[in-house]
Amino acid sequence: MSKTIEDPRNARSHRTRNALLAATRAILETDGFEALTMAAVAGRAGVTRRAVYLHFSSRTELVTALFGYIAEQEGLARSTASIREAPDSVTALREWVRHLVDYHPRLMAVDRAIERVRHVDADAARHRQTVTEAQLANCRHIAERLAAEHRLAAPWTVETATDMLWGLVSTDLFEHMLVGRGWSRSRLEEHLQALYQATFVAPLWS
């Protein structure tokens, strides 16, 4: 049986690309979106500007690739798999809360950097739109399952529940509770589970 051997040049290129995206994330987290330039990325990654442009033709392309990079590094697909694979809608909602408490706090610094400038920077706005679309898709999936199984509480509709579930994906909420009030993640998850259950799930009548 033949064995596929990865071209060392491709492996090196992949490492360089990841190093550039890691540098991009680090700049956003420490210096803000305003500091994000191709030269700054090159300096943070320890490569030449030419090396940056070999992988990304513009800052727009660099920022566009950032969502996929962060999702891969932080295990987004793995974290959300249990939502899609949940045996019922109520379990899916619980898995969504678990995912949020585990995943979202790790992205707060990037989210803050994007939020500060998204109204004046097209690249930041585009990144935020990508994040929003992914979040809304998950929220709609949960709302539709709850409705299909007759577990969506009144007065919610699929549309309003989708919007409210998305609205609760708030960096302010996580920052206020985890940082401002010093809650642990386990305490936050416990109380968010209670909040989501009481708000969105209709009781089963015997």
The model carries a pTM of 0.88
Q: In 3D, which of 96, 89, 38, 99 has the Cα closest to residue 63? A: 38
- 130 and 30 share one domain: no
- 160 and 110 share one domain: yes
Q: What is the DSSP letter of 88?
A: S
Tens digit of pLDDT for each residue in 111-133?
Answer: 999 999 999 999 999 999 999 99
The span from the CA of 177 to the CA of 71, in Å, is 24
67 lies in a domain?
no
Tens digit of pLDDT for each residue in 125-181?
Answer: 999 999 999 999 999 999 999 999 999 999 999 999 999 999 999 999 999 999 999
- 105 and 26 share one domain: no
CATH number of the CATH domain containing 24: 1.10.10.60
70 lies in a domain?
no
Boundaries of domain holding 86: 75-200
166 lies in a domain?
yes
Decide if pLDDT at 5 tops 70: no
3 lies in a domain?
no
122 lies in a domain?
yes
CATH number of the CATH domain containing 188: 1.10.357
- 47 and 95 share one domain: no
- 163 and 82 share one domain: yes
98 lies in a domain?
yes
What rounded mean pLDDT belongs to the chain?
Answer: 93
142 lies in a domain?
yes
Q: How many domains does the chain have?
A: 2
97 lies in a domain?
yes
Tens digit of pLDDT for each residue in 42-94?
Answer: 999 999 999 999 999 999 999 999 999 999 999 999 999 999 999 999 999 99
- 118 and 170 share one domain: yes
Q: Where are the alpha helices (DSSP H) in the chain?
A: 8-30, 38-45, 49-55, 59-74, 76-84, 89-103, 108-117, 122-148, 158-167, 171-174, 185-200
- 171 and 123 share one domain: yes
